[in-house]
Amino acid sequence: MDLKEGDLVRIVKQPPYVVVQVIGEVGILSEIKENYSIFDAIRRNGSVGGGGAVPLDCLVLEQSAEWLRAKDIYLANQAKILKEAEDRTARYKALLKETAEKYGVTQEAAIAIHSALSSHNY
């Protein structure tokens, strides 16, 4: 079976080095190495579960409609979180630029000043 990153899979065999019982967990492969994957577990409602490394021979593709819907919800939520982070970063960069220009310092100096002030417990 050729699994690839982004596949929805189910753990069908207990990995030998995992103490917690994980058979039946469903998740998405976020990364594949030689003989194992990084597995991001999801729940039926699309929320984030646990995760970790799982040997590829412990996995099968999950194709039920219920879990495919959960994957879609999970991916939509992840995209929303990423967009929010990108928006925050853009706002921060704009404010940093504006502040540096306002006070006639470099952006690096503005960051250093903020860091120095934030590190004190007063």
Q: Dump pLDDT digits (tens) for 9-55.
A: 999 999 888 888 999 999 999 999 989 999 999 999 999 999 999 99
How many Cα neighbours within 13 Å face the side chain of 81?
A: 8
For the stretch 69-115, pLDDT in tens is 999 999 999 999 999 999 999 999 999 999 999 999 999 999 999 99
Domain boundaries, the chain: 8-65
pTM: 0.80
Residue 1 is predicted with a pLDDT of 64
Sheet with 36-42, side-by-side order of all strands: 48-55, 36-42, 26-32, 8-11, 59-61
For the stretch 45-77, pLDDT in tens is 999 999 999 999 999 999 999 999 999 999 999
